[in-house]
Amino acid sequence: FPSHDRIDFNDKVVIEAEVPGLTKADVNVEVQQNVLTVIGGKSKNVTDTEGGRYIRRELKRSNFRRSFTLGENIEKDTVSATFENGILQITLNKVKPVVPEVRKVAIK
Protein backbone atom coordinates (compact mmCIF):
# COMPACT_ATOMS: atom_id res chain seq x y z
CA PHE A 1 0.00 0.00 0.00
CA PRO A 2 1.30 3.48 -0.77
CA SER A 3 2.61 5.80 1.92
CA HIS A 4 -0.24 7.31 3.86
CA ASP A 5 -1.12 9.57 6.77
CA ARG A 6 -3.99 9.14 9.21
CA ILE A 7 -5.20 12.34 10.85
CA ASP A 8 -7.60 12.34 13.79
CA PHE A 9 -9.90 15.35 14.15
CA ASN A 10 -12.67 15.88 16.73
CA ASP A 11 -15.39 15.04 14.21
CA LYS A 12 -13.61 12.84 11.64
CA VAL A 13 -10.58 10.77 10.69
CA VAL A 14 -8.86 11.50 7.37
CA ILE A 15 -6.63 9.07 5.49
CA GLU A 16 -4.38 10.60 2.83
CA ALA A 17 -2.47 8.25 0.52
CA GLU A 18 0.02 8.96 -2.25
CA VAL A 19 -0.88 7.12 -5.44
CA PRO A 20 1.36 8.69 -8.10
CA GLY A 21 0.91 7.53 -11.65
CA LEU A 22 -2.65 6.36 -11.06
CA THR A 23 -5.89 8.01 -12.06
CA LYS A 24 -9.15 8.14 -10.18
CA ALA A 25 -10.37 5.24 -12.34
CA ASP A 26 -7.42 3.08 -11.15
CA VAL A 27 -8.45 3.29 -7.47
CA ASN A 28 -11.46 1.80 -5.65
CA VAL A 29 -12.58 2.47 -2.08
CA GLU A 30 -15.05 0.04 -0.53
CA VAL A 31 -16.76 -0.29 2.85
CA GLN A 32 -18.19 -3.63 3.88
CA GLN A 33 -19.46 -4.02 7.42
CA ASN A 34 -16.63 -2.59 9.60
CA VAL A 35 -13.86 -2.82 7.00
CA LEU A 36 -12.61 -0.07 4.66
CA THR A 37 -10.66 -1.47 1.69
CA VAL A 38 -8.58 0.53 -0.78
CA ILE A 39 -7.69 -1.25 -4.03
CA GLY A 40 -5.57 0.20 -6.79
CA GLY A 41 -3.11 -0.23 -9.56
CA LYS A 42 -2.89 -0.71 -13.26
CA SER A 43 -3.30 -4.18 -14.64
CA LYS A 44 -0.63 -3.78 -17.29
CA ASN A 45 3.03 -4.32 -16.49
CA VAL A 46 5.40 -2.12 -18.46
CA THR A 47 8.05 -4.33 -20.04
CA ASP A 48 8.60 -2.69 -23.43
CA THR A 49 11.80 -0.66 -23.24
CA GLU A 50 12.08 -0.11 -27.02
CA GLY A 51 15.24 -2.17 -27.45
CA GLY A 52 16.78 -1.20 -24.11
CA ARG A 53 17.24 -3.28 -21.02
CA TYR A 54 16.72 -2.45 -17.39
CA ILE A 55 19.85 -1.73 -15.37
CA ARG A 56 17.86 -0.98 -12.23
CA ARG A 57 14.13 -1.31 -11.66
CA GLU A 58 12.64 0.56 -8.67
CA LEU A 59 9.29 1.85 -9.89
CA LYS A 60 6.45 -0.08 -8.34
CA ARG A 61 3.94 -1.10 -10.96
CA SER A 62 2.02 -3.74 -9.07
CA ASN A 63 -1.52 -3.61 -7.77
CA PHE A 64 -2.20 -2.96 -4.10
CA ARG A 65 -4.93 -3.70 -1.59
CA ARG A 66 -5.14 -2.43 1.99
CA SER A 67 -7.90 -2.90 4.53
CA PHE A 68 -8.59 -0.91 7.68
CA THR A 69 -10.92 -2.03 10.46
CA LEU A 70 -13.32 0.77 11.31
CA GLY A 71 -14.13 1.43 14.94
CA GLU A 72 -17.62 1.72 16.35
CA ASN A 73 -17.15 5.51 16.46
CA ILE A 74 -17.12 5.79 12.62
CA GLU A 75 -20.28 6.44 10.56
CA LYS A 76 -19.90 3.71 7.93
CA ASP A 77 -22.64 5.17 5.69
CA THR A 78 -20.96 8.56 5.24
CA VAL A 79 -17.44 7.54 4.17
CA SER A 80 -16.33 9.74 1.28
CA ALA A 81 -13.22 10.02 -0.90
CA THR A 82 -11.57 12.54 -3.22
CA PHE A 83 -8.66 12.15 -5.62
CA GLU A 84 -6.53 15.07 -6.75
CA ASN A 85 -2.95 15.36 -8.02
CA GLY A 86 -2.04 11.79 -7.08
CA ILE A 87 -3.41 12.09 -3.53
CA LEU A 88 -6.35 9.96 -2.39
CA GLN A 89 -8.16 11.47 0.59
CA ILE A 90 -10.70 9.37 2.49
CA THR A 91 -12.90 11.05 5.09
CA LEU A 92 -14.39 8.96 7.89
CA ASN A 93 -16.94 10.92 9.90
CA LYS A 94 -17.19 10.10 13.57
CA VAL A 95 -20.50 9.23 15.19
CA LYS A 96 -21.82 12.27 16.97
CA PRO A 97 -22.03 11.54 20.67
CA VAL A 98 -25.55 11.37 22.02
CA VAL A 99 -25.97 14.05 24.63
CA PRO A 100 -28.64 12.99 27.07
CA GLU A 101 -31.48 15.44 27.27
CA VAL A 102 -31.80 17.06 30.65
CA ARG A 103 -35.37 17.49 31.79
CA LYS A 104 -36.01 19.75 34.67
CA VAL A 105 -38.37 18.22 37.19
CA ALA A 106 -40.75 20.57 38.90
CA ILE A 107 -40.76 20.24 42.65
CA LYS A 108 -44.30 20.30 44.12
- Whether the per-residue pLDDT at 32 is higher than 60: the answer is yes
Mean per-residue pLDDT of the chain:
88
Q: 57 pLDDT band (50/70/90 cuts)?
A: confident
This prediction has a pTM of: 0.76
Round to whole Å and give the CA distance between 42 and 75.
30
Q: Which residues of 45-68 are buried (b: 16+ CB within 10 A; e: fewer)?
A: eeeeeeeeeeeeeeeeeeeeeeeb
